[in-house]
């Protein structure tokens, strides 16, 4: 099996330099902390571009493929600019993500707007900025979108998002393709939706079907099942309605290696599985080869990112754990609290001692559940040490909050020994800029 970037646990450029400090993208982690502070999100540009290349190579045998980055994993203007350079499109799920990729100069024809409860303002924004595809999730949205399109005298290119009835083995909160899901049309509803599009909603043009089965997926069989369902539906709709659909979107979800026991398939393995099954289904159901869209998010950006923290207080429970606290936690990485997510970490500064200890890394927030890593062995820790937590590129910044009125961290992009600030650290003034005191209280 060919190895791809998503199978690594760390950014490609991570190493120890001559001072004994961790180095990422040619930048000393301790110097990054001195310049930008902590907590600090760090993205390695080389790893980002390498995994994009992996995906392109993995699907070169099926040239009618478009990789659509799932922006919910991490959405910043600088990242969008890099991914556009690499030829990727964008799967967006909010007006904020639409506006971010637009401000980054992205070709909006290569953007797909997805989501189960899009607002009127968001749909109007998508129409005004020329988003290439809207994945329609329900009957309410079909009617609403047609009305909005009429108001702007436009025909909107759409996909129908369907629920394929596939349950993958991942955390229940990130399963999306099973029957009891808030997303998409059930299979028995498709005909009614198609009939409305063909006969009533004349400002909508249907190009294909869209499905998504979950996230952090290690299985390959379920992609086969999904493709079979989508192709079978395309053939059935052609037979019943004379409708020639030429696009299928199979979503994303490929897992990454957070801890040693995680063994995700490579992008190359997934690519071969998908291409082989697609070619098989084209022949099996006697349909034209469709354009295929994929929406990787985590597997594009997760391994590229690390978070640097400064270690502060510690507590040894009598006959129990030793808790070591960092200056961040569940506000900059809520995944351990939400999903019981696990991470690997190491001390970034040089530690001359060989003495090891098992500790639990706790956050600074006022919740007992604010634990980043349970029971990890590290060199004996001192206050002021720098902790590097790996695989934090996906869903950390995206899900960050201001809980306890703490400022969100900065983010830097590193490459060839250069570190560029791409998200500024919030200030105390930022925390109150939208607060308003009514005159009657002054």
End-to-end CA, the chain: 68
Residues 275-310 have pLDDT tens digits of 999 999 999 999 999 999 999 999 999 999 999 999
Q: What DSSP state is assigned to residue 50?
A: H
Task: Give residue 214's pLDDT.
Answer: 84
pLDDT band at 172 (very low <50, low <70, confident <90, very high): very low
Q: Residue 209 has what DSSP assignment?
A: E
The reported pLDDT for the residue numbered 181 is: 66
> What local confidence, expressed as pLDDT, does residue 179 receive?
54
Q: What is the pLDDT of residue 1?
A: 59
Q: Which residue has the tokens 């019981």?
A: 340
Q: What is the pLDDT of residues 104-115, one digit of tens each?
A: 999 999 999 999
Least confident interval from 36-45, 76-85, 221-230: 221-230
User: What letter does residue 426 receive in the DSSP assignment?
Assistant: P
What are the Cα distances from residue 153, in Å, to 129, 149, 202? 14, 6, 11
Look at residue 176 in the predicted model and tell me its pLDDT.
Answer: 43
For the cut 80, the answer to whether the pLDDT of residue 68 exceeds it is yes
Catalytic-role residue among 366, 388, 407, 418? 366
- Residue 180 binned pLDDT confidence (cut-offs 50, 70, 90): low
Q: Are 81 and 104 in contact (CB under 8 A)?
A: yes
- DSSP string covering 302-334, please? TTTEEEEEEEEEEEE-TTS-EEEEES--TTT--
Task: Give the per-residue pLDDT at 171.
Answer: 37
With tokens 């309410």, the residue in question is 140
CA dihedral 145, 146, 150, 153 (to 10 degrees): 70
Helix (H, G, I), strand (E, B), or coil: what is residue 133?
strand
pLDDT for residue 183 is more than 80: no
Q: What is the mean pLDDT of residues 79-84?
A: 98
H or E element in which residue 195 lies: helix 190-199
> Does the active-site annotation cover 366?
yes
Q: Are 408 and 399 in contact (CB under 8 A)?
A: no
Q: Is 160 left (phi over 0), alpha (psi -120 to 50) or beta?
A: beta
> How do residues 26-54 score in pLDDT, each as one tens digit?
999 999 999 999 999 999 999 999 999 99
Separation CA 364–CA 330 (nearest Å): 8
Residue 178 has pLDDT above 80, yes or no: no
What does the pLDDT read at residue 167? 63
Residue 134: closest CA among 92, 82, 97, 179:
92
Q: Which domains does the chain have, with CATH numbers?
A: 5-43+303-432 (2.40.37.10), 45-301 (3.20.20.10)
Residue 381 has pLDDT above 60, yes or no: yes
Mean confidence (pLDDT) of the chain:
94
pTM summary value: 0.94
Using DSSP, state whether 300 is helix, strand or coil: helix
Return d(Cα 27, Cα 22) in angstroms, integer.
8
Residue 6's pLDDT band (cuts 50, 70, 90): confident
- Average pLDDT for 239-260: 95
Q: What confidence tens digit (pLDDT) does each residue in 101-141 have?
A: 999 999 999 999 999 999 999 999 999 999 999 999 999 99
For residue range 309-352, what is the model confidence (pLDDT) as tens digits?
999 999 999 989 999 999 999 999 999 999 899 999 999 999 98
CA 278 to chain centre: 25
Phi, psi of 37 (to 5 degrees): 80, 180
Taking 80 as the threshold, does the pLDDT of residue 169 lie above it?
no
Helix (H) or strand (E) holding 111: strand 111-113
Q: What percent of the chain clears pLDDT 70, i.e. is strictly above it?
A: 96
Q: What is the reported pLDDT for 408?
A: 98
For position 24, what pLDDT does the model report? 98
C-alpha–C-alpha distance, residues 231 and 253, integer Å: 20
């Amino acid at each position: 099996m060919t190895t791809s970037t998503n199978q690594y646990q760390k950014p490609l450029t991570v190493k120890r330099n001559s001072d004994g400090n961790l180095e990422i993208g040619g930048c000393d982690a301790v110097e990054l902390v001195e310049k930008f502070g902590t907590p600090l999100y760090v993205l390695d540009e080389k790893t980002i571009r390498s995994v994009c290349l992996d995906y392109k190579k993995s699907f070169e045998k099926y040239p009618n493929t478009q990789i659509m980055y799932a922006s919910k994993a991490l959405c910043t203007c600088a990242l969008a600019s890099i991914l556009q350079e690499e030829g990727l499109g964008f799967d967006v799920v909010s007006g904020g993500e639409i506006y971010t990729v637009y401000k980054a100069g992205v070709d909006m024809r290569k953007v797909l707007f997805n989501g189960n409860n899009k607002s009127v303002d968001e749909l109007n924004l998508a129409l005004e900025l020329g988003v290439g595809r809207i994945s329609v999730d329900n009957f309410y949205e079909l009617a609403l979108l047609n009305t909005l399109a009429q108001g702007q005298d436009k025909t909107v290119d759409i996909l129908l998002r369907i629920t394929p009835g596939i349950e993958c083995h991942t955390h229940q909160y990130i399963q999306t393709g099973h029957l009891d899901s808030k997303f998409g049309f059930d299979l028995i509803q498709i005909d009614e939706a198609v009939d409305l599009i063909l006969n009533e909603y004349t400002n909508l043009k249907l190009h294909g079907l869209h499905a998504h089965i979950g996230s952090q997926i290690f299985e390959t069989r379920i992609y086969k099942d999904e493709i079979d369902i989508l192709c079978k539906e395309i053939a059935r709709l052609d037979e019943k309605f004379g409708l020639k659909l030429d696009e299928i979107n199979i979503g994303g979800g490929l897992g990454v290696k957070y801890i040693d026991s995680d063994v995700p398939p490579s992008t190359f393995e997934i690519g071969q599985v998908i291409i082989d099954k697609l070619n098989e289904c084209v022949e099996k159901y006697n349909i034209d080869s469709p354009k295929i869209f994929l929406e990787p998010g985590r597997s594009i950006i997760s391994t590229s990112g690390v978070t640097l923290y400064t270690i502060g207080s510690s507590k040894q429970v009598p006959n129990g754990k030793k808790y070591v606290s960092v200056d961040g936690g569940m506000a900059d990485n809520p995944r351990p609290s939400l999903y019981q997510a696990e991470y690997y970490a190491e001390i970034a500064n040089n530690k001359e001692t060989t003495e090891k200890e098992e500790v639990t890394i706790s956050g600074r927030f006022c919740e007992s559940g604010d634990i980043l890593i349970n029971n990890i062995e590290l060199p004996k820790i001192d206050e002021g040490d720098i902790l590097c937590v790996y695989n934090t590129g996906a869903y950390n910044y995206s899900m960050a909050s201001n809980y306890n009125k703490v400022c969100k961290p900065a983010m830097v992009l590193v490459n060839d020994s250069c570190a560029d600030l791409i998200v500024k650290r919030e200030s105390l003034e930022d925390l109150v800029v939208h607060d308003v005191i009514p005159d009657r209280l002054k």
